[in-house]
């Protein structure tokens, strides 16, 4: 009975893979619009009286409108010359309504929240990947940063509405305390977590220093006292397999992923690696710069590694490397492989002949820019498409594998390398190629 229950939890993680909120690719090359703050203030200050705080918030809204609304992007030439006459008319509409609400709403108004919600409204009118992200629960940014203050656990919700531990980072407070994957969290500081979402629990943990978690492990109830510490997220795991086949698992493309990947690849090569498996299963994306640097380890600067397309046209992004790798490469992917994972898979296949095994990937062919507004929050806005090195757009289509293989039910009951059919297919393919 208990065994069946644990099996179901593992199945749920597989089924929920597509629902991850951090399926993103983040560009670090996008230039913020140049807005002359003084000129904008001079045109509005005569009609309305604002505090310095409000002027800053209004300026933020102006910048957002310039960057988000296609009309103003079309007027880029006028704006770059400092001509805001047309833009000011539209901005003034917002200012008038903002002022009306402040003066006429019957209750108290939190101005930070008012501006935050205004930004949320603008961003939510765009595509599904453009969204406002609250600073307090920004798991996406924390993961991409590569380190954070916390417990070092990942949590997910099962179909039975239980919050379970889905991952534990090495050397974290959670690992040191003895928490295990698939532990069911039942209480936080002696209060039941029933009815809480995973985001609710994350918020509670974020706002508390000393934490007491009660968990259910099989039929045993256990209590753990934990204190948050700096957790370095290890997103790369590697080892040498039989017949000098190297194996590197990449969980996400964070700020520190490139350095971890470079170190792992160098060690494997120094140890005599003859072929390589790169496991991108469940990798939902991350920083575009990280995957650029990682791909440059494999090919010289004559190779296009991907392309981008925006309102100004198509740009080809080239490798910055100096040598092509000649060993065979297999990519493992599944439905949870998205964005930067798809950039890596397609680039290595199209440029170096890498072989892809697994399932068709998620299919996300857009790039988001992450913006932070002090005191208000963060938002992501889609700024461009990305295309494969050969110019294909995989959005909502995904990357089809060269060999389609799904994991068996036995794997989800008790995952091992022996019943990992995708991994075993990669080993077989590389061994056959060597022979």
Is 114 found in the same domain as 163? no
For 47-62, what is the mean pLDDT? Answer: 46
Catalytic residue check, 428:
no
Q: At what angle do helices 111-124 and 85-104 cross, to 10 degrees?
A: 130
In terms of pLDDT, which residue wins out, 218 or 148? 218
For 23-40, what is the mean pLDDT? Answer: 35
Is 354 found in the same domain as 222? no
CATH of the domain at 291: 3.90.226.10
Q: How many residues does the chain have?
A: 435
Buried b (16+ CB within 10 A) or exposed e, 161-195: ebbbbbebbeebbbbebebeebbbbbbbeeeebee
Is 155 found in the same domain as 35? no
The last residue of one of the domains, among 97, 127, 157, is 127
Query: 345 in a domain, yes or no?
Result: yes
Catalytic residue check, 206:
no
Q: How confident is the model at residue 435 (pLDDT cuts 50, 70, 90)?
A: low
Residue 8 pLDDT > 70: no
Residue 53 pLDDT > 60: no
Q: How confident is the model at residue 139 (pLDDT cuts 50, 70, 90)?
A: low
Is 382 found in the same domain as 273? yes
Catalytic residue check, 350:
yes
Catalytic residue among 9, 241, 364, 380: 364
Catalytic residue among 339, 341, 347, 389: 339
Residue 20 pLDDT > 60: no
For residue 143, the model assigns a pLDDT of 67
- Which residues partner with 433 through β-bridges? none
Query: 140 in a domain, yes or no?
Result: no
For 302-319, what is the mean pLDDT? Answer: 96
For residue 370, the model assigns a pLDDT of 75
Residue 284 pLDDT > 80: yes
Q: How many CB atoms lie within 10 A of CB 209?
A: 8
Which domain does 61 fall in, by range?
31-127
Per mean pLDDT, which range of 7-21, 257-271, 272-286, 353-367 is the poorest? 7-21
- Token representation of residue 417: 């390398």
Burial class (CB within 10 angstroms; exposed 0-12, middle 13-18, buried 19+) of 223: exposed
- Which stretches of 234-327 are assigned E, i.e. beta strand? 236-241, 245-250, 275-279, 285-287, 304-310, 313-318
Query: 22 in a domain, yes or no?
Result: no
For residue 28, the model assigns a pLDDT of 42
Catalytic residue among 137, 235, 350, 361: 350
Q: Which of 91-95, 198-202, 299-303 is most confident?
A: 299-303
Query: 380 in a domain, yes or no?
Result: yes
Is 371 found in the same domain as 281? yes
CATH of the domain at 199: 2.30.42.10
Is 223 found in the same domain as 98? no
Phi and psi torsions of 154, nearest 5°: -110, 140
How many domains does the chain divide into? 3
Query: 4 in a domain, yes or no?
Result: no
């Amino acid at each position: 009975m208990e065994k069946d229950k644990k099996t179901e939890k593992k199945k749920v993680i597989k089924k929920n893979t597509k629902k991850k909120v951090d399926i993103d690719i983040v560009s670090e090359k996008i230039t913020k619009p140049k807005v002359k703050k003084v000129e904008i203030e001079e045109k509005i200050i005569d009609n309305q009286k604002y505090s310095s705080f409000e002027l800053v918030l209004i300026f933020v809204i102006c910048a957002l409108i310039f960057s988000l609304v296609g009309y103003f992007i079309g007027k880029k030439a006028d704006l770059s010359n400092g001509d805001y006459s047309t833009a000011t008319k539209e901005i003034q509409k917002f200012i008038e309504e903002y002022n009306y609400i402040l003066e006429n709403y019957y209750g108290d108004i939190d101005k930070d929240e008012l501006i935050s919600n205004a930004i949320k409204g603008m961003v939510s009118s765009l595509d599904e990947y453009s969204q406002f992200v609250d600073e307090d629960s920004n798991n996406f940014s924390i993961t991409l940063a590569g380190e954070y203050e916390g417990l070092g656990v990942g949590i997910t919700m099962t179909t039975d509405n239980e919050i379970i531990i889905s991952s534990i980072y090495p050397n974290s407070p959670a690992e040191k305390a003895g928490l295990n994957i698939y532990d069911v969290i039942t209480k936080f500081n002696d209060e039941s977590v029933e009815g809480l979402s995973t985001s609710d629990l994350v918020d509670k943990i974020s706002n508390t220093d000393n934490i007491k978690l009660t968990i259910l492990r099989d039929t045993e109830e256990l209590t753990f006292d934990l204190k948050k510490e700096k957790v370095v997220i290890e997103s790369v795991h590697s080892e040498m397999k039989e017949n000098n086949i190297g194996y590197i698992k990449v969980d996400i493309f964070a700020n520190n992923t490139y350095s971890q990947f470079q170190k792992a690849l160098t060690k494997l090569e120094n140890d005599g690696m003859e072929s390589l498996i790169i496991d991108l299963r469940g990798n939902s994306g991350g920083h575009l710069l990280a995957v650029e640097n990682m791909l440059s380890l494999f090919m010289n600067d004559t190779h296009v590694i991907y392309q981008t397309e925006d309102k100004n046209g198509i740009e080809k992004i080239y490798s910055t490397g100096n040598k092509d790798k000649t060993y065979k490469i297999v990519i493992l992917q599944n439905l949870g492989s998205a964005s930067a994972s798809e950039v890596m898979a397609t680039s290595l296949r199209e440029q170096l002949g890498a072989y892809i095994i697994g399932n068709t990937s998620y299919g996300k062919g857009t790039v988001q820019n992450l913006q932070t507004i002090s005191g208000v929050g963060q938002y992501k806005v889609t700024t461009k498409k990305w295309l494969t090195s050969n110019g294909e757009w995989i959005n909502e289509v995904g990357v089809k594998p060269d060999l389609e293989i799904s994991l068996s039910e036995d794997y989800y009951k008790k995952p091992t390398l022996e019943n990992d059919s995708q991994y075993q297919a990669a080993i077989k393919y590389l061994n056959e190629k060597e022979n």
